[in-house]
Amino acid sequence: MTISKQDLILLSSYLDSELPPGQKSRLEDRLLEEEDLAEAFKALSRTRTVLRSAPSLKAPRNFTLTPAMVSEGKQSSWLDAFQALRLASAVAAVLLAAVLVLDFGPGLAPVRLQEAAPPAVMEKAAPSGGDQVESQAMPSPQDEEEQETMLEAPAEEETAEDALQEEERAERPEQEGQPPEQPQEEKGVFREQPPEDQPRAELPPDAPPVDWMLIAEIVLAVTAAGLAGGAYFARKQAR
């Protein structure tokens, strides 16, 4: 008794009622006519019955999970953490590099010096108002006109570097216990006409300048180092 592979598939599917109606009726006709096919079908049917009569097995124990089972070997989560930390570390490093370039890049140092200058000095260098620092860093067309006007006045030709030197001179006697002599005019400018839109005017005149670039560098360096360390730890855990 030999039947083709195709007939075997037909018989098997017919056994499980998985044949489309057309194929089913054609096969039923053939089963009535072909003895070998009918014999093969009976044998296949018996096999199926034997298989389905096999006793089902019970689980030999309970497979319930404990919190330890669920938490242990969480490699994928550590790997995810590693990937995230690695990316964040790379971003922080790039940001740090960008800040360093801005900090030490050619032509950018004066901006930092001007930003570091205390308000009183800046006031002197730019008596027209507190916008001077911003206008020198990023001059707008209007500000440029004002600057031109200011540059024409002899008293206003001092650069920010000159102002810094003057400030250092003013600070020196103060450190030695002698209060610096400030010109009455300057005191008057500072005390009597505080610029309304100058945020640094709220700082005391002798407050140390806030170096935001330096702070940003430190924060980014610490962040990058921390993230890199975290990525290393996560990688180690995942392994």
Partner 1 sequence: MDQLADTIQSALNGDLDAFNQIVLEFQDQVYYQAYRIMGERGAAEDATQEAFISAYRKLQTYRGGSFKSWLLRIVSNACYDELRRRKRQPVAPLIPRDDHGEEFDSPSWMEDQGEKPEQFLSRAELSDAIQHCLDQLDVNFRTAVVLIDLQELDYASAAEVVDVPLGTIKSRLARARLSMQECLSRFGELLPVDLRHDGEAEQI
Residues in contact with partner 1 by the rule CB under 8 A? 5, 8-9, 11-13, 16, 18, 43-44, 46-67, 69-70, 76
Q: Give least dist CB 18 to partner 1, A.
A: 5
**Tokens found for residue 17:** 């009622």
Q: Which stretches of the chain are DSSP H helices?
A: 5-15, 21-33, 35-52, 67-71, 75-104, 109-116, 119-125, 132-137, 141-152, 160-175, 184-192, 212-238
Q: Give least dist CB 1 to partner 1, A.
A: 9
Q: Give least dist CB 52 to partner 1, A.
A: 6
User: Measured from the CB atom, is 24 or 226 closer to partner 1?
Assistant: 24
Spatial CA neighbour of 120 closest among 188, 178, 177: 188
Q: How far apart are the first and last CA of the chain?
A: 58
Spatial CA neighbour of 228 closest among 82, 107, 18: 82
Q: Give least dist CB 143 to partner 1, A.
A: 57
User: Measured from the CB atom, is 76 or 184 closer to partner 1?
Assistant: 76
Dist CA 184 CA 188 (whole Å): 6
Q: Give least dist CB 15 to partner 1, A.
A: 8
User: Measured from the CB atom, is 40 or 111 closer to partner 1?
Assistant: 40
User: Measured from the CB atom, is 55 or 204 closer to partner 1?
Assistant: 55
User: Measured from the CB atom, is 44 or 228 closer to partner 1?
Assistant: 44
Q: Which residues contact 38 (CB under 8 A, 6 or more apart)?
A: 31, 32
